[in-house]
């Protein structure tokens, strides 16, 4: 009798698997309902990943209250997701190439669902952050393999371009859907439902995938786990150092140890990538000035947009008193302006090239953020928030198509996935690192403001209020709102500086003309293929970044 793992027993199983895959492929390639359902499945996965960034943002004040986060520690609810998502994104795409894209797509979706369930059941901050980090791992596997499955499921040409268009539309609209859904779920149910909502979506995706999506061919390759882990852990240590510095000071031993660990880990990462036969981060990508400049610009702009949505979410709910649903509706104009800006820019791009739009867009974003520094406890949404948000959104709407095309301009066709994937990773990592810096500025400024307000509070406080202050160290309202608003305003000053730096980089570094983009402006739209370097990648027109924690279209997310 043959053993279960003998060649004789493996052959029938392989034949059965190949036959099942062939039936799925025949059904999918035939068109009609099969391909339509396949596209719905792939788009639903991307919607789930994008949704989870903005939907959680709206719930932040309620998460803070329920799980007792400080404002600085609250940023980890965002960063725990985006750091693992951005840090492991290229490795996630690589696993799909080597182990099979459909298989890893399902693994990523299942992991995302389990993490969402665990996050919704969290009883303390540590449990929630662990679940958010696990969500990022699932998203890092599911998102790039979902995009890659388009190239293996749909024929090249108009059919594939339409599929890319749907994928991009879901990426862009998912942010707005998340804002509304998050507002409704938090207001009508509970903040935990912003995580639970992923579970039924993932279950339907897992049920439909084997029936309507065929497995892709596998490519031999090297995982480069060492590169992925050292880069991700290095960025986590760096973010932790900044956030701890805001609470314990720059001379705190653990703060210094975090920065030291970050330097060591990121140095090891560079050495690993230089010696790896197939690195997940091809360092030669940074040798070309336009591409290197594009990644630097994305880092800076992501810091600005992550910070803007994080702090404005707190401001409109904790200071202006908006309900979660009203807060979600308050951000919808941002989605509309970004969509309009991206459409107009796409049409003018062939004539003027990307550089003018990147420079002007970054300066507009800086202007909107500078305007937001004027908010105070007596400000109103219409008078002090809506106008700056629209100016900021107009600037950001000019960015994403330009940066995507600049990132892949001049890249050999076999490396477009790596180039666009690095842009996506730059957005997630830049947003996480930038948010940690902004939180540090916020914490320092808020602490200074609180110290200045304490004498006045003690002079006016009742004995009960003084006793509560001595017990908690926290100022009550309206002093707490003053502290929060001052810290947020100072964070916006720093976010505006990030946007100005992006404009300067674009002005000085970028050297790209409209003619350089002609080969990228054919019949294919801006969205693109697998954002992970593959040994033999499927060709495609370039990749759009995943949205940031706001309704920004496809950087980029968690």
Query: Per the structure block, which two tokens stand in for 136?
Result: 């990022």
21 found inside a domain: no
379 and 490, same domain (yes or no) = yes
| Cis upstream peptide for 478 (omega within 30°) | yes
With a cut of 60, say whether residue 539 has pLDDT above it. no
Confidence bin at 514 (pLDDT 50/70/90) = low
Query: Per the structure block, which two tokens stand in for 268?
Result: 């090891």
44 and 180, same domain (yes or no) = yes
166 and 230, same domain (yes or no) = no
Structure confidence at residue 172 (pLDDT): 63
- Angstrom distance (rounded) from CA 308 to CA 438: 10
129 found inside a domain: yes
Non-local CB neighbours of 453 within 8 Å, separated by 6+ positions: 475, 479, 482, 483
Among 174, 192, 214, the domain-final residue is: 214
Query: Per the structure block, which two tokens stand in for 332?
Result: 């919808």
27 found inside a domain: no
Specify which of 109-123, 163-177, 293-307, 539-553 reaches the highest per-range mean pLDDT: 109-123
Query: Per the structure block, which two tokens stand in for 164?
Result: 């890319």
Condensed to tens digits (0 to 9), the pLDDT of residues 59-75 reads: 888 998 899 888 778 88
Query: Per the structure block, which two tokens stand in for 200?
Result: 């039924």
- Angstrom distance (rounded) from CA 426 to CA 411: 17
- Angstrom distance (rounded) from CA 537 to CA 539: 6
What stretch of H or E contains 65?
A: helix 33-67
Q: Could you tell me the CATH number of the domain that includes residue 81?
A: 1.20.1250.20
Structure confidence at residue 516 (pLDDT): 60
The better pLDDT of the pair 51, 230 is held by 230
Condensed to tens digits (0 to 9), the pLDDT of residues 222-270 reads: 777 888 888 888 888 888 888 888 777 888 899 899 999 999 998 998 8
456 found inside a domain: yes
541 found inside a domain: no
Among 194, 214, 234, the domain-final residue is: 214
With a cut of 80, say whether residue 332 has pLDDT above it. yes
With a cut of 50, say whether residue 2 has pLDDT above it. no
Q: What is the mean pLDDT of the chain?
A: 79
Residue listed under structure tokens 């499921």: 153
Q: How many domains does one find in the chain? A: 3
Please tell me the number of Cα atoms within 13 Å of 198 on its side-chain side: 33
Confidence bin at 353 (pLDDT 50/70/90) = confident
Q: Is 523 helix (H, G, I), strand (E, B) or coil?
A: coil
Condensed to tens digits (0 to 9), the pLDDT of residues 88-102 reads: 888 887 787 788 888
45 and 154, same domain (yes or no) = yes
- CA dihedral over 164, 168, 173, 178, signed as positive or negative: positive
153 and 231, same domain (yes or no) = no
426 found inside a domain: yes
With a cut of 50, say whether residue 536 has pLDDT above it. no
273 and 287, same domain (yes or no) = no
Among 189, 214, 239, the domain-final residue is: 214
Nearest C-alpha neighbor of 483 from the set 61, 60, 71, 58: 71
361 and 431, same domain (yes or no) = yes
360 and 382, same domain (yes or no) = yes
Share of the chain above pLDDT 90, in %: 25
406 found inside a domain: yes
Condensed to tens digits (0 to 9), the pLDDT of residues 118-164 reads: 999 999 999 999 999 999 899 888 888 887 787 777 776 677 767 77
Structure confidence at residue 344 (pLDDT): 85
267 and 356, same domain (yes or no) = no
Structure confidence at residue 103 (pLDDT): 87
Structure confidence at residue 415 (pLDDT): 64
Asked if 230 and 268 touch (Cβ cutoff 8 Å), the reply is yes
With a cut of 60, say whether residue 196 has pLDDT above it. yes
52 and 191, same domain (yes or no) = yes
23 found inside a domain: no
- In terms of residue numbers, what domain contains 511? 281-520
288 and 268, same domain (yes or no) = no
Asked if 556 and 299 touch (Cβ cutoff 8 Å), the reply is no
Structure confidence at residue 541 (pLDDT): 28
200 and 336, same domain (yes or no) = no
């Amino acid at each position: 009798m043959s053993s279960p793992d003998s060649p004789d027993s493996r052959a029938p199983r392989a034949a059965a698997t190949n036959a099942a895959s062939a039936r799925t492929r025949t059904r999918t390639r035939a068109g009609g309902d099969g391909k339509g359902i396949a596209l719905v499945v792939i788009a639903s996965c991307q919607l789930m990943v994008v949704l989870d960034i903005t939907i959680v943002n709206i719930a932040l004040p309620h998460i803070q209250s329920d799980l007792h986060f400080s404002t600085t520690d609250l940023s980890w609810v965002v960063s725990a997701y985006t750091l693992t998502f951005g840090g492991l994104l290229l490795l996630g795409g690589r696993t799909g190439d080597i182990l099979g894209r459909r298989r890893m797509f399902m693994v990523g979706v299942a992991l995302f669902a389990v993490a969402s369930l665990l996050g919704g059941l969290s009883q303390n901050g540590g449990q929630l952050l662990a679940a958010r980090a696990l969500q990022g791992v699932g998203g890092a596997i599911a998102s790039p393999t979902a995009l890659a499955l388009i190239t293996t499921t749909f024929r090249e040409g108009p059919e594939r371009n339409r599929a890319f268009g749907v994928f991009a539309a879901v990426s862009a609209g998912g942010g707005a859907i998340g804002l509304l859904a998050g507002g409704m779920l938090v207001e009508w149910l509970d903040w935990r439902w912003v995580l639970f909502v992923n579970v039924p979506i993932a279950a339907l995706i897992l049920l439909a995938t084997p029936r309507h999506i065929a497995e892709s061919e596998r490519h031999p390759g090297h995982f480069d786990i060492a590169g992925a882990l050292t880069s991700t852990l290095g960025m986590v240590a760096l973010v932790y150092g900044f956030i701890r510095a805001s609470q314990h000071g720059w001379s705190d031993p653990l703060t210094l140890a975090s920065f030291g660990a970050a330097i060591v880990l990121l140095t090891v990462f560079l050495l690993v990538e230089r010696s790896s036969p197939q690195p997940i981060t091809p360092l030669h990508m940074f040798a070309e000035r336009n591409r290197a400049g594009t990644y630097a610009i994305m880092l800076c702009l992501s810091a600005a947009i992550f910070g803007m949505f994080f702090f404005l979410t707190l401001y409109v709910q904790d200071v202006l008193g908006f309900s979660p649903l009203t807060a979600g509706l308050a951000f919808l104009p941002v989605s509309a302006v970004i969509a309009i800006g991206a459409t107009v820019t796409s049409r003018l791009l062939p004539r003027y090239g990307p550089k003018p739009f990147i420079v002007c867009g970054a300066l507009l974003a800086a202007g909107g953020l500078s305007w937001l520094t004027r908010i105070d406890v007596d400000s109103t949404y219409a008078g002090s928030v809506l106008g700056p948000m629209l100016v900021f959104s107009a600037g950001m709407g000019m960015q994403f198509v330009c940066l995507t095309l600049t990132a892949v301009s001049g890249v050999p066709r076999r490396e477009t996935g790596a180039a666009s994937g690095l842009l996506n990773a730059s957005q997630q990592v830049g947003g996480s690192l930038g948010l940690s810096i902004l939180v540090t500025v916020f914490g320092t400024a808020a602490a200074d403001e609180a110290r200045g307000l304490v004498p006045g509070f003690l002079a006016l406080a009742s004995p009960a209020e003084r006793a509560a202050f001595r017990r908690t160290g926290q100022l009550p309202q309206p002093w707490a709102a003053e502290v929060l608003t001052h810290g947020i305003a100072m964070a916006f000053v720093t976010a505006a500086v990030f946007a100005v730096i992006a404009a300067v980089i674009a002005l000085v570094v970028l050297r790209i003309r409209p003619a350089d983009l002609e080969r990228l402006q054919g019949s294919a739209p801006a969205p693109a293929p697998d954002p992970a370097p593959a040994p033999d990648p499927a060709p495609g027109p370039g990749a759009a970044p995943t949205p940031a924690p706001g309704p920004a279209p496809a950087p980029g997310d968690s």
